[in-house]
A and B are shown apart, each in its own frame.
Chain A
């Protein structure tokens, strides 16, 4: 099973709302990632969790708050977002054993619209 699942598939929220994106993998991977992707652009790394600990934060605004409750789950909590935060949010995972050479497997993404 090489599947990463993400919920919801689509999310529309107002700038005052609080919402969460969820990501799950059951491949035993120990590294998990959040990416943001705008239309016709490449994915941009936001956060990396390694062995359930935040290892990389790419200077992401605090209105995005990641959480890794266990080795299979990754959440992204959203609060007070701006319309320019509208994008496809992708979760990915990799084995985490060697880091740099691990293949990353992407979930289908959550398409977020901020009104």
Chain B
């Protein structure tokens, strides 16, 4: 089975840096994805890590350590529009298994 754990909520001010951690216990793990979902919207792909290390895409970065079964999403220079739910998801044979999601609230 698949099990992913991430914090339920994070609150930060504009311009701050937020790190969302994700620990996983999965069989047949291929990689870790991150998705953003605004209220009433669809999940939007942010990043994917198959190998250990850091992937940077603009203000967002994602990290994976396969030996520690751990990854994180780093949101830098937070903006109000970053208020959303963020899901980590593990990939296994066409299947994405999602964590419960982290609600990020950005305050002015």
Does B31 lie within 8 Å of A101, measured CB to CB? yes
A29 to chain B, nearest CB (A): 12
How many residue pairs link A and B with beta carbons under 8 A? The number is 55
Q: Which stretch, B12-20, B63-71, B76-84, B85-93, touches the partner chain A?
A: B85-93
Indicate if the CB atoms of A101 and B30 lie closer than 8 Å.
yes
CB distance from B37 to the nearest CB of A (A): 9
Interface pair B93/A99, CB less than 8 Å apart? yes
Complexed CA–CA distance, A41 and B99 (Å): 9
Closest to B29 in A: A100
With A41-B100, A101-B31, A103-B48 known to touch, is A56 a contact of B94 (CB < 8 Å)? yes
Q: A42-B100, A101-B31, A101-B48 are in contact. Are A90 and B43 (CB under 8 A)?
A: yes
Interface size class of A (residues with CB under 8 A): 20 to 34
A106/B43 in contact, CB under 8 A:
yes
Within the complex, the shortest CB–CB distance from B42 to chain A, in Å, comes to 4
Q: Which residues of A contact B100 (CB under 8 A)?
A: 41-42
Q: How far is the CB of B53 from chain A (nearest CB, A)?
A: 16
In the assembled complex, B50 has its CB within 8 A of some CB on chain A = yes
Secondary structure class of chain B's binding surface, majority of residues = strand
A70: chain B residues within 8 A (beta carbon): none
Q: How many angstroms from the CA of A108 to the CA of B35 in the assembled complex?
A: 14
B94 near A90 with CB under 8 A, answer no
0 or 1 for each of A83-115: is its CB under 8 Å from B? (1 = yes): 000000010001000011111111111000000
List of A residues within 8 angstroms of B31 by Cβ: 100-101
Q: Contact check, A100 vs B101: say whether CB atoms are below 8 A apart.
A: no
**Within the complex, what minimum Cβ distance (angstroms) separates B26 from chain A?**
11
The docked-state distance in angstroms from the alpha carbon of A104 to that of B87 is 13
Binding site for B on A (CB under 8 A): 31, 40-45, 48, 50, 55-56, 90, 94, 99-109
- Residue pairs across A and B with Cβ atoms less than 8 A apart, 6 shown, are A42-B98, A94-B94, A100-B91, A101-B50, A103-B45, A106-B44
